[in-house]
Chains A and B, each alone.
Chain A
Amino acid sequence: QSALTQPPSASGSPGQSVTISCTGTSGDVGGYKYVSWYQQHLGKAPKLMIYEVNKRPSGVPDRFSGSKSGNTASLTVSGLQAEDEADYFCVSYAGINDLIFGGGTKLTVL
């Protein structure tokens, strides 16, 4: 089982929008609605930002949004802020009680 594919890095200036992709297969991302995204600041625990492709937990700013097309899910951060600089990774259900992680993307706010 291979990890979901994410770009290793992404960047944008304050106020801009950045989109991070997460590519899998029809057996995971493309086959289920259970794609979630997490933010992880250095040395901290991950935080759930998006679940079920495009739902935001309470307390997550609406600058964070999710979508999916085919086997690729995406996380978009709009109106970038300095505190958005972190690692982001995706997770997808892969059937038969299995979960698969993305490799992670380091987001830099220029």
Chain B
Amino acid sequence: QVQLQESGPGLVTPSQTLSLTCTVSGASINSGGYYWSWIRQHPGRGLDWIGYIYYSGSAYYNPSLKSRITISLETSKNQFSLRVSSVTAADTAVYFCAGVRNWRFDYWGQGALVTVSS
């Protein structure tokens, strides 16, 4: 059974960089077939897709966030990561990692709340 788990700081200072890691178990992120993705959900609102990365290292980002986003693989640890630079209060959200296949989200992490505040 494939499981995903987000980890990282729950509080980030404005203008700093938000960093989260997703640890995948039950599947190898190196094996292909899945796009490893990040999504976020602002309090009381719907979900926003941040972007994804393929096992080859090719990444695609939501155009509205592209200038501040980096998604990377750490294959030796079977993890992938998200970095969001120059954060503001508007980046406060629950961040989910997920596995995407055939343009559907098959697997989700439990979510990690990140608050941007001084």
A→B interface (CB under 8 Å): 1, 3, 32, 34, 36, 38, 44-48, 51-52, 57, 89, 91, 93, 97-104
Can you name the residue of chain B whose Cβ is closest to the Cβ of A55? B104
When distances are taken between beta carbons in the complex, the residues of chain B under 8 Å from A44 are 110
Are A101 and B108 neighbours in the complex by a CB distance under 8 Å? Answer: no
Partner of A46, one of B48, B63, B100, B105: B105
Number of A-B contacts (CB under 8 A): 53
A52 near B46 (CB under 8 angstroms)?
no
User: Which residues on B are within 8 Å of A, measured CB to CB?
Assistant: 39, 45-49, 60, 63-64, 96, 100, 102-106, 108-111
B101 to chain A, nearest CB (A): 9
**How far, in whole Å, are A52 and B46 apart by their CA atoms in the complex?**
21
Partner of B105, one of A36, A98, A102, A104: A36
Chain A residues closer than 8 Å to B48, beta-carbon distance: 101
Taking CB atoms, residues of chain B closer than 8 Å to A3 are: 46
A78 to chain B, nearest CB (A): 22
Task: Collect the chain A residues with CB atoms within 8 Å of residue B45's CB.
Answer: 103-104
